[in-house]
Every structure is written in C-alpha cells, then in structure tokens.
Amino acid sequence: MNREVLIKSTISKIMQLPDKKIEEVNNFAEFLLSKIDDKIIQEGMQKLSYESKTFDYLNEEEDIYTVNDVKERYR
C-alpha cells in the first residue's frame, strides 16, 4: 500500500470511532511524533559533539609518564 492509500484508509477508520477513541489515536500519533523529534535531537547532539574540536588538545598532549616510571609491577 502506498502512503496516500494508507492515509485515506486510516482516516476512514478513525471517522468511525467514538470521540474517546479518536483522542487515544491522537495521543498515540503525538507520542510517535515526539519519539521522532527526540531521535532527531539526539542524532544532532551526537553529530555536534563528534565534530567538536573542544577536546582535540588531549590528542596532542605529550605522555608525561612511561612504563619505566612504574615502581611496582604486578604479574
């Protein structure tokens, strides 16, 4: 089924429902849309943090300590 046919079928079924059930369908549709919005926001935040140069200095920092600085070694 293509999108238009599915939408028309859904609308015709909703038109047959009592008012209380139409409210439930509306609430469920709002819930689904909010999940999509949350996912878009989360992906945007992940992209921004991944592309951020804020912590690049950590990659360029020299190692202060080496294995030779360890006083005790566990076997």
More confident residue, 6 or 60: 6
Q: Is the pLDDT of residue 74 over 80?
A: no
CA 20 to CA 24: how far, in whole Å? 7
- Residue-by-residue DSSP string for 24-68: HHHHHHHHHHHHHHHHHHHHHHHHHHHH--TTTHHHHPPP---GG
CA 75 to CA 61: how far, in whole Å? 30
Q: Is the pLDDT of residue 75 over 80?
A: no
| pLDDT tens figures, 8-62 | 999 999 999 999 999 999 999 999 999 999 999 999 999 988 888 887 777 777 8
pTM over 0.85: no
CA 51 to CA 57: how far, in whole Å? 14
Q: Is the pLDDT of residue 64 over 80?
A: yes
Return the DSSP state at 75. -
Domain ranges (residues) in the chain: 18-53
